[in-house]
Amino acid sequence: MKLKIIIASLLFMQFTFAQETSINTTQKIWSLEDCINYALENNISIKDATLSKDIAQVDYSKAKSSRLPDLFGSASQSFSSGNTIDPITSDYVTDQVNSTNVGINSSITLFQGKQISNQIKQNKLLLEQSIFEEEVEKNNIVLNILETYLQTLYSKENISIAKNNLEASEKEVLRAKARLDAGTITLSDYTEAQSQAATNKYNVISSKNEYQQYIIDLKQLLELPFMEDMQIETINENLDLVNLNLNKTEVYKNALEYLPEIKASNLNIEANEKELDIAKGGFLPTLSLSGSLGSGYTSITDSSFSDQFDLNFNQKLGLSLSIPIFNKNKTKAAVQTATINIKKAEIQKQTTEKTVYKKVETAYQNALSAQEQVIASEASKVAAAQSYKLAQKKYELGDLSTTDLVISQNTYTNAQQNYLQAKYLNILYHQLLQFYQGNDIKL
């Protein structure tokens, strides 16, 4: 019986392991497009910008509602004794008085120096600005994902380079051991080969750790759970290089028309101009219309509660005009502050345009440089690979020292890494230039 239980347990464990293996083999491979789309839905920075936009929408609705009249209901019950004035009849009495008052009051602002209209227009501008600021945050996340994704791919390929170097150095250790046993090399040559193998093993570990760090950064941008494994998709090796005939002035002009931060800056100026109009409205008078309906009951009279409510029913309608004469220079200060804020908004726009120009100029120059580096580093990599192969053959024949072989291998490794770095920088800056012109990022 115990044997059957053990066998059943083993079969269950095997089945569970098979299921887990099946799940792992069907793990999602994240493309750049997948990462961008997922982050746009889940990144907390974008969610925060969206909430700010929602607040601006509420403020806009609130501003529009300020045109409407208000309406309040009131009710009161009072008791007094001795010498008092009846709140319903206004008679002077010396008695105990029970009184009830109910009413409805309403008022509406007819004119307030166009402050209400300008406030509505300003809140509409602020809402539009918040929409563009949300787009700015989305663009920042997209660019961060692009850069992190390419860095992750770079580090992933760097692992392959490190592994190949480790495999080659381990074979060289075996050859060095054979030559040491044969007496054709010294012990120091053999230990140098061992040292190179150990260094390459360390490089493999370091490359894997770097890759995992970039995966962590990418998962944080996507807001993925830390325990979830993530694999990314490799890119098309035949991506076009940057167009050397691309006009950076045209790229900059397109960026000024496309990028939401420029549009947000323009709206910021307009919103501050409306703030100035609102402040100037404080110099003008305010005209309001008010009205009320009410009735009441008092215990002094002999009439019934319902009869008194009918007899005491009253209606009021009135206009009020408030003319500002002197308010301790508050309105004057508000106008001056709004004027200064307009100038600050204009400076902020200029700063934004300078920042955009610097980004475009940097991306353009780096794109051209990266393209040339790709061509040069690829030629260097090919030459270094041939030199390393020749060095390996010479080493096998005993015509090359271990030190020279190690130098040749390191030269080849550096050439591979330089090419890899140039390749991904070329892709990055090419995509940035496309992005600044309003084109989609695609790998």
pLDDT in tens, 288-320: 999 999 988 887 777 788 888 888 888 999 999
Long-range contacts of 62-66 (CB under 8 A, 24+ apart): 62/123, 63/116, 63/119, 63/120, 63/122, 63/123, 63/124, 64/120, 64/123, 66/109, 66/116, 66/119, 66/120
Q: How far apart are CA 161 and CA 206, in angstroms?
A: 12
Q: What would the mean pLDDT of 103-121 be, rounded to a whole number?
A: 95
Please tell me whether residue 149 adopts helix, strand or coil conformation.
Answer: helix
pTM of the model: 0.84
Give me the amino acid identity at 84: T
Neighbouring residues of 440: CB distance < 8 A, sequence distance ≥ 6? 434
Is residue 304 packed enough to be buried (19+ CB in 10 Å), middle (13-18) or exposed (0-12)?
A: exposed
The backbone torsions φ and ψ at residue 313, rounded to the nearest 5 degrees and listed phi first, read -60, 130
Choice between 116 and 25, residue whose per-residue pLDDT is larger: 116
Residue 12's SS3 state is helix
> Over the stretch 34-50, which tens digit does the pLDDT of each residue have?
999 999 999 999 999 99
Q: Of 220, 214, 206, which Cα lies nearest the Cα of 150?
A: 214
**Identity (one letter) of the amino acid at 370?**
A
Structural domains of the chain, ranges and CATH numbers in brackets: 32-68+113-284+327-436 (1.20.1600.10), 71-111+286-323 (2.20.200)
The pLDDT, as a whole number, for residue 244 is 52
Q: How do residues 73-82 score in pLDDT, each as one tens digit?
A: 999 888 877 6
Cα–Cα–Cα angle for 98, 102, 103, rounded to 5 degrees: 150
